[in-house]
Structure 1
Amino acid sequence: MSKLQHVLGISGGKDSAALAIYLKDKYPMLDIKYYFTDTGKELDETYQLIDALEGQYGINIDRLEDKKISSTNEDPFDFHFKSFRGYLPSPQARWCTALMKLKPFEKFVNGKPTVSYVGIRGDEQREGYISREKNIQSIFPFRRNIWSQDVLEKIFNPENHEQLLTYYSQYIKGGKLDKIEAVFSKPIPFNRNYRLEKERIIKEKLDALLEFGVVEYNKSIFQYLKTTDYPLSMEDDYPLLENEDNLVRADIFKILEESGVGVPAYYNKVKYEVDGQVGEYARSRSGCYFCFFQQKIEWVWLYEQHPERFKEAMKYENEDEYFTWIPNESLKELMDPKRIREIKLDHLKRTNKHKSKNSKFLLDILDDTESDACTACFL
């Protein structure tokens, strides 16, 4: 029996939903608790996906609720928006994420040793949410490297070089082990002034180790973790050590479709026409319908496909104080027909530049904006 609690946050997006299905199918021995932090400003498709997961896949999802807020009969976003006196959240001030996602999550965990599963894919170049709380450890099952960046920095620290080689020697011998030692021996700067160089070398070292064997890599790191205070140090074994999967975007859509849960409707492409040209747009993310991480073409999508939601988003803006969802542009300005035409033409230009005929579920026309978003919301 596991000494830990295992949790997975369902955002309403494709990746977290697919991860819930994936783990339930492949690792049924894991007793996972599922949760959803509702901002009160989600699209209907988000709630439909959560209902489908529960109804069709037998997954129970806890709706995290703050009794203080619910007693006011206000949505969580409106409650906090008032407390910030009309200041909109932004990439520089993500109070929405801190108060409506992370705070409820850490209260849900309640200080217990916890493994949190994150749905970042193998084709994404980003790192997921890593809690500052020592009792929470993030794991990424869709990637060949399931471990978080903070773990990588520890195993590639020169001080731990010999220790890691000792663990590797239990699984690999001879010339192959010599090559692994050479990987660990490559100099790496841990000075804060060389952060980017450090990250580059860590990635090179990681890629090299994975080529020598994913399972051997996982087992060696697991041995190391047992000498630390990470939650997984409490476990005698861990089923994901044998995981060699590397799932990409197409795999995620396949999981959702084959499970019967289905893909959230806001990912479906909608055709539009401008100046005789035909393009397609969709939403690239779950989360609040007025999320400030949206690209302008996604705001146009919202205006044309969900006009009532667009109007609600407009109510939060204060042009006199320059409080707008988009820097230097209000939604009132964006909805002008001439401006919409400009945005669509620019989108078409980027679409033609990046579009690939090999991807059935292509969202690259949005420049993969998921990678720029807050990972606590859009998994």
Structure 2
Amino acid sequence: MNEKHILGISGGRDSAALAVYMQHFHPEIEMEYFFTDTGKELPEVMSFLGKLEGFLGKPIHALNPDRDFDFWLAEYNHFLPSPRTRWCTRQLKLRPMEKWLEKDLANGTIVHSYVAIRADEPQREGHQSTHSNMHVHFPLRDAGIDRKGVIDLLERFGVGQPDYYQWRSRSGCTFCFYQQKIEWVELHDRHRDKFDEAVAYEKTAHEHGSPFTWSQGESLLEIVEPERQAQIREDYAKRLARLRSKQRRNPLAALITEDVDDVYGANQDTACDVCSR
């Protein structure tokens, strides 16, 4: 019986660590790596994928959706995707993967999909296929590898972490709606063209009657008003100082890195598994 082993790379550290883990500890498995390119990825993501591809010594197949973001935005009446209506994940990430595997599954190939869910994420389920020939595996969870273990793997093998972790807590699209407000401010400063594109989408959505903005409660232009921007930066600095203060008092509970989500106590379980791993 034919078998196929696949591992989706998001551009984040968890899926990268899983790729490193599988290559080192299970070299007998002929793995196929893939990345679903929405065309809206951060430059840091694409740079990291090139570095990871060099380490793995084999290509990471780029799956390009047959319909781009603009097409689907029009299909959804210009309503922006949101945590409650994540059509971007469905149409730009999952759909291309399912289409890629469609022929293999139809001809009886057993597809083994390896998903980067860690041991410290027992509540996460990942993408579950309903096809009987599709089997999903969670090697990091099974091996007891948590967030610290993921970072240790990447550092141990010299891969490192994507540069965007210096200012952002997730991979995925430049205008991911799960971003904290400080991340929108940083996007404005670091990738102004990407920020302006997100503003344009927000404006078009408003003109078509959409009640949503990328960031809950205010538009992107409101976020980067000088006074508001200063307020967001001040709030972030205070929260970061409090987090570091707690770490000093209890060094055993110290975090390996201080992501934006750590600072705000955000629940990463609400993120899209396909995009943020």
Counterparts of 2:202 and 2:97, CA distance in 1:
28
Tell me how far 1:369 sits from its aligned partner: 4.6
Tell me how far 1:366 sits from its aligned partner: 4.1
1:315 — aligned with what? 200
The two structures have a TM-score, normalised by structure 2, of 0.85
2:24 — aligned with what? 25
Letter in 1 for 2:118: R
Runs of 4+ in 1 over 4 A off after TM superposition: none
Greater relative contact order (Cα 8 A, min sep 6): structure 1 or 2?
2
Give the aligned CA root-mean-square deviation in angstroms. Answer: 2.0
Letter in 2 for 1:65: N
Q: Per the alignment, do residues 312 and 53 of structure 1 end up closer, same or farther by CA in structure 2, a change over 3 Å counting?
A: same
Answer yes or no: is the 8 Å Cα contact 2:4–2:111 preserved in 1. yes
Count of paired positions: 258
Q: Per the alignment, do residues 287 and 258 of structure 1 end up closer, same or farther by CA in structure 2, a change over 3 Å counting?
A: same
Residues 101-139 of structure 1, C-alpha deviations (whole Å, 9 max, x = no match): 111111222224222111111223541222233332221
Tell me how far 1:22 sits from its aligned partner: 0.7
1:332 — aligned with what? 221
Q: Does 1:286 align with 2:182?
A: no
Tell me how far 1:33 sits from its aligned partner: 1.2
Q: Per the alignment, do residues 257 and 368 of structure 1 end up closer, same or farther by CA in structure 2, a change over 3 Å counting?
A: farther
Q: Does 1:98 align with 2:90?
A: yes
Counterparts of 2:11 and 2:3, CA distance in 1:
25
Q: Per the alignment, do residues 140 and 246 of structure 1 end up closer, same or farther by CA in structure 2, a change over 3 Å counting?
A: same
Answer yes or no: is the 8 Å Cα contact 1:97–1:377 preserved in 2. yes
Tell me how far 1:92 sits from its aligned partner: 1.2
Unaligned ranges ≥5, structure 2? 249-253
Counterparts of 2:14 and 2:239, CA distance in 1:
25
Q: Secondary structure at the match of 1:316?
A: helix
Counterparts of 2:159 and 2:55, CA distance in 1:
6
Q: Does 1:88 align with 2:87?
A: no
Structure exhibiting the larger radius of gyration computed from Cα positions: 1
Tell me how far 1:353 sits from its aligned partner: 4.0
1:79 — aligned with what? 71
Counterparts of 1:17 and 1:253, CA distance in 2:
10
Unaligned ranges ≥5, structure 1? 70-75, 147-244, 269-281
2:139 — aligned with what? 141
1:375 — aligned with what? 273
Counterparts of 2:71 and 2:133, CA distance in 1:
29
Q: Per the alignment, do residues 337 and 132 of structure 1 end up closer, same or farther by CA in structure 2, a change over 3 Å counting?
A: farther
Counterparts of 1:261 and 1:295, CA distance in 2:
27
Counterparts of 1:107 and 1:8, CA distance in 2:
15
1:295 — aligned with what? 180
Letter in 1 for 2:127: Y
Q: Secondary structure at the match of 2:6?
A: strand
Answer yes or no: is the 8 Å Cα contact 1:125–1:371 preserved in 2. no
Answer yes or no: is the 8 Å Cα contact 2:45–2:164 preserved in 1. no
Counterparts of 2:193 and 2:237, CA distance in 1:
26
Tell me how far 1:304 sits from its aligned partner: 2.1
Match of 1:359 among 224, 237, 255: 255
Letter in 2 for 1:350: R
1:276 — aligned with what? none
The two structures have a TM-score, normalised by structure 1, of 0.63
